[in-house]
Amino acid sequence: MTTLHLADAPAAPTLTRSFHAIGRQALELLYQHRVLSTQQLHVLLTLPATRAARPHYLRKQLAELHKAGLVSKVRALSGSAGPNRVRSQPFLWYLSEAGAESVEEAGELPIRPYRVTPESVAGARQAHTLAVNDVGIAFVEHARRLGHECGPLDWTPEVANRIRDGQRRFEDDHVIADSVLNYVHVENGRRTMLSFFIELDRATMTSARLAAKLHAYGRLYEYVPQSSDRARRLPNATRPAWMNHYPIFPRLLVVLDAAAPKEGEPDRRPHRLAARTEDLYTRTAADVRLSRLREDMAIGVTTLQQLQQHGPCAPIFTPLLRGTPSARPALTDLYLSTK
């Protein structure tokens, strides 16, 4: 992938006190999440009690970062080609090469080799990327309200996990989660640490293809790397590879979304997403591997609208491997349902 180089940008400055704390935090969020809208940054960087109606101060900080050559911006894609409609679209922010280097020099976040380009921001996956952000933001917002713990950096986008040996295409040998999210549920002084694979589906692929990706998580659960030299195989080479990265296997949450209807058209999204959930339930029930792992894995389905409106601790999930399509377990029930 082409790396963005700004010929007229100054040398990458280190993150010093010359930039306000909110500016430094914005750089970190953009480094981890790659692309965020102004409003998404505003929600993540301010608490509800202190949140102004409009993110004026954040815009000022972003303008300073843009002037310093640390961030770049583009208008979000519009469903309409009209010039007035384009101008009304929000700005999307991402780090320049200098901005990414400055975050890496600070040493506060794990280094990620990926670099955002204008082409990748304006590409076909823009809406998907922003929706994945909205999923993470929904968890953050409700954690703040309920006294749980899930911060702006507690989800990592596009995490690849190997599911078989070989040197095929990267996509064939790995399952790539849209994000991995960590959440601490706090109740009566008891802390329960939860982790999730997030799959965001905007109904742009067939239900069969989505079900195939869920099947790949079953392969991940069982995948044990093979050593070419059996005589020198280490003891941990006989255990599943995921154990090297996760203390327990993350639960899988499928969050459904769909494009809003055009002006004047009825909103058929609830019916469409309900049908998609039913299709996934049928397909996973017929999946031999997933059926075999039903006591070890948990998969829940909800919609982005439900997640934003009710929060992850509400009974909004349809379990795919156990129960019935009418069951609606809460997040902790889904999480604790495996052995």
Calpha distance 29→155 (Å, rounded): 10
pTM summary value: 0.86
Examine the domain organization and report whether 59 and 166 are in the same domain: no
Examine the domain organization and report whether 312 and 259 are in the same domain: yes
pLDDT value at residue 47? 78
- Domain total in the chain: 2
pLDDT value at residue 332? 74
Q: Which of 74, 95, 123 is the last residue of a domain?
A: 123
pLDDT value at residue 63? 95
pLDDT value at residue 87? 53
Examine the domain organization and report whether 100 and 155 are in the same domain: no
Examine the domain organization and report whether 168 and 297 are in the same domain: yes
Taking the chain (339 residues) in runs of 10, the rounded mean pLDDT of each run is 34 46 94 96 84 75 95 82 56 96 94 90 92 97 95 96 82 91 93 95 93 97 79 64 94 92 82 93 96 94 95 92 74 69
- Domain enclosing residue 226, as ranges: 124-339
Examine the domain organization and report whether 69 and 211 are in the same domain: no
pLDDT value at residue 3? 32
pLDDT value at residue 52? 59
Q: Which of 77, 97, 123 is the last residue of a domain?
A: 123
Q: What's the distance, CA 117 to chain centroid?
A: 19
What DSSP assignment string belongs to 24-52? Answer: HHHHHHHHHHS-EEHHHHHHHHS-GGG--
41: CATH? 1.10.10.10
Examine the domain organization and report whether 197 and 259 are in the same domain: yes
Q: What are phi and psi of 261, to 5 degrees?
A: -70, 155
Examine the domain organization and report whether 36 and 139 are in the same domain: no
pLDDT value at residue 202? 93
Residues in the chain: 339
Examine the domain organization and report whether 115 and 171 are in the same domain: no
What phi-psi label fits residue 311: left (phi over 0), alpha (psi between -120 and 50 degrees) or beta? left
Examine the domain organization and report whether 143 and 283 are in the same domain: yes
Examine the domain organization and report whether 145 and 291 are in the same domain: yes
Examine the domain organization and report whether 84 and 184 are in the same domain: no
